[in-house]
């Protein structure tokens, strides 16, 4: 038995397979990303806590002699076990290594891949159909998000995708749809562009905000950042049915139908969710980067085709 193997056995450390599974679950809990581990990183303790490691298991040190440099390198045994587990997940293509993730996020992080995401869901008994709603990052989807957010804004944008296949859902279009959703809700900082509502589920897994298409899917609207808005479910509905639209300067316009609306309609106790925008000119809450603002060609189409004048 190797020196390291003997240490692992002496200290009754968890097996590598067990650590791999714990790491996948932890990645899932942290939305698909954890910082590259260094000593003292919270994540190192978090997983140690899950295995209820005792003090000596946490502090055991492995000494390796570097003959060439004639020095001894000391590594905590637990830290090394964790790193080996992560490395082996990377070999199985279940996570991306910090050296690859950095190209996407500019941070040295471990990130789930699509297969790693699937594996984590399986371990946690969460159906795969939830992928669409979970904010969990995956390497493949983040690549799309990066592209959507960083593509330079075109002068003359065409929000229609003539090639769009609406019936057949391919894996590629499913990834693209998740990339669109993620890019939109991130660009709008998880808030409704109308009311500013920002809320997630108590387990922090799900965000309430939805990624709405301005030119909808059914009218061949593209999955681009310039054809999207982050909206709470109430405002998403109201925008889709034509209660609201936007001007080119992003001011909200309310349908004139509001004047014949029974007075008890559209109220949430004292809050009047339609009339509140009809009296004064109010702008939507826009993304931080101007490049990510909705495009005038998308909102013009909405004004002319969806808005109930
Ligand atoms: Zn809202």
d(CA 187, CA 145): 10
- 282 CA to middle of ligand 1, Å? 13
pLDDT grade for 303, boundaries at 50, 70 and 90: very high
- 15 CA to middle of ligand 1, Å? 48
- 273 CA to middle of ligand 1, Å? 9
Q: Report whether 95 contacts 37 (CB < 8 A).
A: no
What's the confidence (pLDDT) of residue 173?
82
- 55 CA to middle of ligand 1, Å? 49
- 131 CA to middle of ligand 1, Å? 23
- 210 CA to middle of ligand 1, Å? 10
pLDDT grade for 187, boundaries at 50, 70 and 90: very high
Q: Report whether 137 contacts 31 (CB < 8 A).
A: yes
Burial of 173: CB neighbours in 10 Å, binned 0-12, 13-18, 19+: middle
Structure tokens at 277: 């925008």
204 Rama class: left (phi>0) / alpha (psi -120 to 50) / beta = left
52 Rama class: left (phi>0) / alpha (psi -120 to 50) / beta = left
Per-residue exposure over 132-157, b if at least 16 CB sit within 10 Å of its own CB, e if not:
eebbbbbbbbbebbeebbeeeeeeee
What's the confidence (pLDDT) of residue 135?
87
Mean pLDDT for 19-39 is: 91
d(CA 178, CA 204): 18
d(CA 20, CA 22): 6
Burial of 276: CB neighbours in 10 Å, binned 0-12, 13-18, 19+: middle
- 301 CA to middle of ligand 1, Å? 21
More confident residue, 7 or 205: 7
- For residue 269, CA distances in Å to 52, 236, 256, 272, 273 come to 49, 20, 22, 8, 10
pLDDT at 262 over 80: yes
Mean pLDDT for 164-169 is: 65
What's the confidence (pLDDT) of residue 40?
65
Mean pLDDT for 168-186 is: 87
pLDDT grade for 37, boundaries at 50, 70 and 90: confident
Cite the DSSP H helix spans in 188-293.
Answer: 233-240
What's the confidence (pLDDT) of residue 204?
85
pLDDT grade for 169, boundaries at 50, 70 and 90: low
- pLDDT (tens digit per residue) in 122-149: 999 999 989 988 989 999 999 999 999 9
Share of the chain above pLDDT 90, in %: 75
pLDDT at 22 over 80: yes
Diameter over CA atoms, the chain: 87
What is the phi/psi pair of residue 246, to 5°? -120, 150
- Secondary structure class of 271 (helix, strand, coil): strand
What's the confidence (pLDDT) of residue 168?
61
């Amino acid at each position: 038995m190797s020196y390291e193997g003997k240490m692992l056995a002496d200290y009754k450390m968890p097996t590598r397979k067990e650590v791999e599974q714990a790491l996948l679950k932890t990645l899932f809990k942290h939305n698909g990303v954890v910082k590259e581990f260094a000593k003292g990183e919270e994540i190192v303790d978090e997983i140690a806590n899950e295995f209820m490691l005792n003090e000596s298991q946490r502090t055991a040190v492995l000494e390796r002699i570097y003959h060439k440099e004639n020095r001894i390198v000391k590594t905590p045994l637990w830290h090394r076990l964790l790193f080996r587990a992560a490395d082996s997940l990377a070999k199985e293509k279940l996570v991306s290594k910090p050296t690859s993730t950095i190209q996407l996020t500019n941070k040295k992080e471990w990130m789930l891949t699509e297969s790693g995401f699937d594996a984590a869901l399986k371990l946690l008994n969460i159906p795969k159909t939830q992928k669409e709603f979970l904010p969990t990052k995956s390497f493949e989807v983040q690549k799309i998000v990066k592209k959507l957010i960083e593509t330079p804004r075109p002068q003359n944008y065409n929000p229609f995708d003539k090639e769009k296949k609406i019936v057949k859902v391919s894996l590629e279009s499913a990834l693209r749809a998740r990339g669109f959703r993620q890019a939109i809700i991130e660009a709008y900082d998880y808030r409704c562009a109308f009311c500013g509502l920002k809320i997630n589920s108590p387990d922090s897994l799900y965000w309430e905000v939805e990624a709405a298409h301005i030119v909808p899917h059914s009218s061949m609207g593209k999955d681009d950042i310039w054809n999207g808005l982050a909206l709470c479910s109430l405002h998403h509905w109201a925008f889709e049915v034509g209660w609201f639209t936007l001007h080119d300067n992003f001011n909200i316009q309310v349908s004139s139908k509001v004047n014949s609306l029974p007075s008890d309609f559209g109220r949430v106790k004292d809050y009047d969710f339609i009339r509140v925008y009809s009296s004064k000119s109010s702008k939507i809450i826009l993304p931080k980067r101007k490049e990510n603002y909705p495009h005038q060609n998308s909102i013009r189409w909405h004004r002319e085709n969806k808005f109930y004048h």
